């Protein structure tokens, strides 16, 4: 694996991750861009105890461009994009329209492939392993950034989710605070430890799911994927390494080697779950990692790295919207049982 860092015309950082050591990454960004100067603001809602970010410059970000103007495709001839090279394996670069930046965090874009019409599910295991390497590399670097408290590497796929660029890609957010989702999880872990005299909630939940089996989608030597007992979304899968670790940096080599085939299997099941004639399933997939700052060492050690994958599609022609109860009160009501969702995902396993 070769890692090459270059600068774009406006001063943003771009990193190539290549499977070949002889990959040439000397191409320059020929666009006449002004130096990047994004600005963001963060305010705290005192009633909810949550932060809200403001990034007015994102109003002008690229929105559903035609394929021949995609900013994530390689630069070729006179068609110049965010990636100066004529081809690439995996690329990570600072977002031109970040939600958080400077002293208030960092946002990056991860391009999974140079193919405009592909998806993560189309990658080979070796290509998926390279993406995992990129996620891990960025996690390690974000951990050293004093402006970043927590990192979330995620992918939004599908127009139904709100994706504005069709090219297969994800993002990495470096939040300058601990997210509400993680704060609640850490509080639950601490309470469980107190109530049980030292047990870890993540370990107990994983052991219970594996013992019950009705919601397990797949289980391997190093990973377990299951639909959670109280799943919010029509099809929602949580993927855990069988050995608890706090973040991607601390995954052992065996789990790292097995991840690509497991994750690709899950994504392909999602694409088959509504039948062979349906378009690719829209989804959100993201890594939950322990915060680097803002929590105790004990709390960090008790956190469990895991990936959450879910879709808002609840039927071939139906979407699950966050309406009154979900959006207004954060109380989800689902019309499908987690056990039925898990059974369906087992049914559509790769033949």
Distance CA 250, CA 176 (A): 22
Distance CA 303, CA 298 (A): 9
Distance CA 268, CA 247 (A): 25
Asked whether this chain's domains 2-175 and 180-347 adopt the same fold, the reply is: yes
Digit-coded pLDDT (tens) for 270-298: 999 999 889 999 999 999 999 999 999 99
Strands (DSSP E) found in the chain: 2-7, 13-18, 41-45, 50-54, 90-94, 106-111, 150-157, 169-175, 216-219, 223-226, 235-241, 283-288, 306-311, 313-315, 318-319
What CATH code would you report for 2-175? 3.30.428.10
Distance CA 145, CA 343 (A): 43
**Taking the domains of the chain in order of start, what are their residue ranges?**
2-175, 180-347
Catalytic residues: 169
Lowest mean pLDDT: which of 6-10, 57-61, 98-102? 57-61
Domain 180-347 = CATH 3.40.630.10: no
pLDDT at 32 over 80: yes
User: Whole-prediction pTM value?
Assistant: 0.96
Tokens 């007015």 correspond to 56
Q: How confident is the model at residue 61 (pLDDT cuts 50, 70, 90)?
A: confident
**Sequential DSSP letters for 112-167:** --S-TT--GGGS-HHHHHHHHHHHHHHHHHHHT-TT-SEEEEEEEESGGGT-S--S
**81's tokens:** 């994009």
């Amino acid at each position: 694996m070769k890692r090459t860092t270059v600068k774009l015309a406006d001063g943003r950082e771009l990193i190539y991750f290549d499977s070949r050591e002889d990959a040439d990454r000397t191409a320059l960004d020929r666009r006449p861009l002004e130096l990047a100067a994004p600005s963001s603001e963060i305010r705290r809602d005192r009633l909810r105890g949550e932060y809200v970010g403001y990034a007015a410059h994102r109003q002008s970000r690229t929105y559903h461009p035609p394929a021949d103007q995609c900013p994530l495709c390689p630069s070729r001839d006179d068609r110049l994009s965010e990636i100066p090279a004529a081809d690439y394996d995996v690329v990570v670069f600072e977002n031109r329209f970040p939600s958080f930046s400077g002293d208030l965090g960092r946002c990056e874009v991860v391009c999974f492939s140079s193919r405009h019409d592909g998806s993560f599910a189309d990658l080979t295991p070796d290509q998926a392993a390279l993406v995992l390497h990129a996620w891990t590399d960025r996690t390690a670097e974000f951990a050293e950034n004093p402006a970043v408290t927590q990192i979330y590497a995620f992918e939004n796929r599908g127009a139904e989710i709100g994706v504005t660029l069709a090219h297969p890609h994800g993002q990495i957010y470096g939040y300058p605070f601990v997210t509400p989702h993680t704060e609640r999880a850490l509080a639950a872990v601490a309470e469980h430890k107190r109530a049980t005299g030292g047990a870890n909630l993540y370990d107990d939940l994983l052991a219970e799911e594996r013992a019950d089996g009705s919601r397990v989608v797949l289980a391997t030597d190093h990973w377990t994927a299951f639909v959670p007992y109280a799943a919010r979304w029509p099809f929602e899968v949580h993927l855990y390494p069988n050995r608890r670790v706090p973040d991607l940096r601390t995954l052992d080599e065996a789990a790292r080697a097995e991840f690509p085939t497991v994750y690709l299997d899950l994504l392909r099941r999602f694409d088959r779950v509504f039948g062979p004639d349906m378009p690719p399933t829209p989804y959100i997939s993201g890594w939950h990692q322990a915060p680097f700052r803002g929590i105790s060492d004990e709390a960090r050690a008790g956190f469990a790295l895991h990936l959450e994958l879910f879709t808002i599609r609840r039927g071939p022609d139906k979407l699950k919207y966050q309406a009154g109860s979900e959006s207004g009160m954060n109380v989800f009501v689902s019309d499908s049982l987690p056990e039925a969702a898990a059974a369906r995902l087992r049914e559509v396993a790769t033949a």
